[in-house]
Structures are given as C-alpha cells and as structure tokens.
Amino acid sequence: MSDVAIAVKNLSKSFKIAHQRDAGYRTLRDDLMGLPQRMLARWKRNGQLTSETFWALKDVSFEVKKGEVVGIIGRNGTGKSTLLKILSRITEPTSGGADIYGRVGALLEVGTGFHPELTGRENIFMNGAILGMKRVEIQQKFAEIVAFAGIDKFLDTPVKRYSSGMYVRLAFAVAAHLDPEILFVDEVLAVGDTEFQKKCLGKMHDVSQAGRTVIFISHSMEAISRLCPRAIWLHEGQLIVDGPSDAVIAQYSGASALSAIQT
C-alpha cells in the first residue's frame, strides 16, 4: 500500500479583524499612544477592544497518499488558498497541525519573484531559486524551461516588455520543472489562453503519472474532473465533502445552482 504524503488534522486558522482603527498600516506612534489606553482596559478587566475573529479554516482534516491527485473546490474566500499557504509553510496555523512527507513545490501565484527590469534569463534563475531549486539544477533544466515557454528569442529582453501570455508561460515553465515530490497548484490556470491551459494540464498530468502527489485548486470543474480522481469541497473554512471528484463536483454545482436560485 502506498504511504501517506500529507496528513492534516484539525487545522484551523483565524485572523483578527480590528474594527476600531481606520484601515491602514499600524504605526509605532499609534501603538505607543494607545498603550496607556489598552493597559487601563486590561487592568479594569472590562476593556473590550472590538476585534472580530475570522476563521479562515476550521478543523480541517484529511489525508493524501503518495501519488494521489486531489482537487480542492469551493467558492471564493472559503480558505482554499489559506490551506495551501499553511501546507507550504508560508503562514502558520492557529491550531491543529499537518505532517508532510516529501519535498514540496508550491505554485501559488504565477511569476513570484519576477522583476520587470530583469531579463527573461535572469528571471528564470531568480524564480527557480526562490522556488527552491539549486543553481546547478536550473542550469541543467534551462534549455527545457525555455523550450516549454517558447521564448528563446526574447531571453535577453526585460520581462516588462513581454506580453501577458509570454509572462505566464515563462512563470509556469519554471515552476513546472521544479520536480518536487508534492506539488501544490493554486488557480494558476485562470490566466492564459486555451493552448496554455492545455499545456499546463498536460504537464500536470505528466507530473501525476510520474507518481507525484498533487493538490490542485481550481474553479474550472473541467480541469478538476480531468486531472483529479478525488476532490475536496471547502466551504467557509470547513471541509464539507471529500470523495470521488465527479460526485463532489456534482454536489458543488448543485449547491451553487441552488443558492443562485434562492438569492
């Protein structure tokens, strides 16, 4: 039997939303000025600074075995990206935990680390390094990356001159050659034309065939049903359904249709 790749248990993440101060950044001056006020409130024990706790994720538990491809679906703002951020160690959970077995590669946004002033070549190295590849690795895969993106004519032009399509192709090309054991992909297919989307899906299919574990967030039910045999439906931070993707998609689409009718 295959081993576990990801084990998530009671994962929860909350954010405090302050209502008192005006929207903006905290300044040291404000905090220092407000200190006597806060200390007085705490001393009096009746001080209630209105801050609402928003639960982005609440008690999410599931397991993913090695080589599984799991899709995560749900409406916007239901904690899907937060889940991947926690599993990629970008942010910490408030409670609960997860265990990861294997090297992780996360593609949460296309073109992370790209700087418009740098050339395509320089950005490949930058992006590759930030995703965790060693320089030697990037050099070895350089030709493949350029071929996948199809930008060999424009390697030495600053990226700010690229079309949005070229930009996205290059970004995905670097991430696609990451070669991790576990791959997280967050809605990156939202940008790009059909040909690009086909290429991406194809590459992700190859990755999953090679025995890698993939977690894939998407709003495209077609992509999910084609790529993922299993799907998880998150709603308002909670795991509603976890099962075969066709069934879950049916439930999700049904529920969406129902709520559309009801409103």
Partner 1 sequence: MSTESPIVATVAELYATPIRTQARQQKPTFRIRPTKGWAPLNVLELWKYRDLLWILVERDTKLLYKQTALGVAWVVMQPLIAAVIFAVIFGRVARLPSDGAPYLLFVFCGLTVWTYFSQALQHAGNSLIRNAQLVSKVYFPKLLLPLAQTIRGLVDFTVTLVVLLVLMAIYRVPPTFRLAVLPVFLFFMTLTATGVALWFSALSVKYRDCTHALQYFIQIWMYASPVVYPISMIPERWRPLFALNPAVGFIEGFRWAVLGHSVLNPSLVCITIVMSLVVLFSGAFFFRRAERGFADII
Residues 94-153 that bind partner 1 (CB under 8 A): 94-104, 106, 108-109, 112-113, 115, 117-118, 122, 125-126, 129-135
Q: For partner 1, give the closer residue by CB, 76 or 194.
A: 76
Q: For partner 1, give the closer residue by CB, 140 or 202.
A: 140
Q: Evaluate whether 121 touches 155 at the Cβ level (below 8 Å).
A: yes
| 193 near partner 1 (CB under 8 A) | no
Burial class (CB within 10 angstroms; exposed 0-12, middle 13-18, buried 19+) of 142: middle
CA–CA dist 72, 85 (Å, integer): 13
Q: Least distance from C-beta 183 to partner 1, angstroms?
A: 14
Q: What count of other Cβ atoms lies within 10 Å of the Cβ of residue 166?
A: 17
CA–CA dist 58, 2 (Å, integer): 28
| 170 near partner 1 (CB under 8 A) | no
Residues 25-64 that bind partner 1 (CB under 8 A): 25-29, 31, 61-63
CA–CA dist 77, 69 (Å, integer): 22
Stretch of 70-78, 192-200, 210-218, 236-244 lying at the interface with partner 1 (CB under 8 A)? 236-244
CA–CA dist 207, 3 (Å, integer): 18
| 247 near partner 1 (CB under 8 A) | yes
| 22 near partner 1 (CB under 8 A) | no
- Out of 65, 75, 121, 219, the residue judged to bind partner 1 by CB under 8 A: 65
* β-sheet bridge partners, residue 10: none
| 236 near partner 1 (CB under 8 A) | no
Q: For partner 1, give the closer residue by CB, 210 or 261.
A: 261
Q: Least distance from C-beta 206 to partner 1, angstroms?
A: 23
Q: For partner 1, give the closer residue by CB, 62 or 196.
A: 62
225, two tokens = 């049903």
- Out of 23, 43, 45, 92, the residue judged to bind partner 1 by CB under 8 A: 92
Burial 128-138 (b: 16+ CB within 10 A, else e): beebebeeeeb
**Helices assigned H by DSSP within the chain:** 28-44, 80-87, 120-131, 135-149, 164-176, 194-209, 221-227, 245-262
Stretch of 140-148, 164-172, 188-196, 253-261 lying at the interface with partner 1 (CB under 8 A)? 253-261
Instruction: Tell me the torsion sign for CA atoms 153, 155, 157, 160.
Output: positive
CA–CA dist 42, 142 (Å, integer): 58
Binding site for partner 1 (CB under 8 A): 1, 3-4, 7, 15, 25-29, 31, 61-63, 65, 85-104, 106, 108-109, 112-113, 115, 117-118, 122, 125-126, 129-135, 240-243, 247-248, 251, 254-255, 258
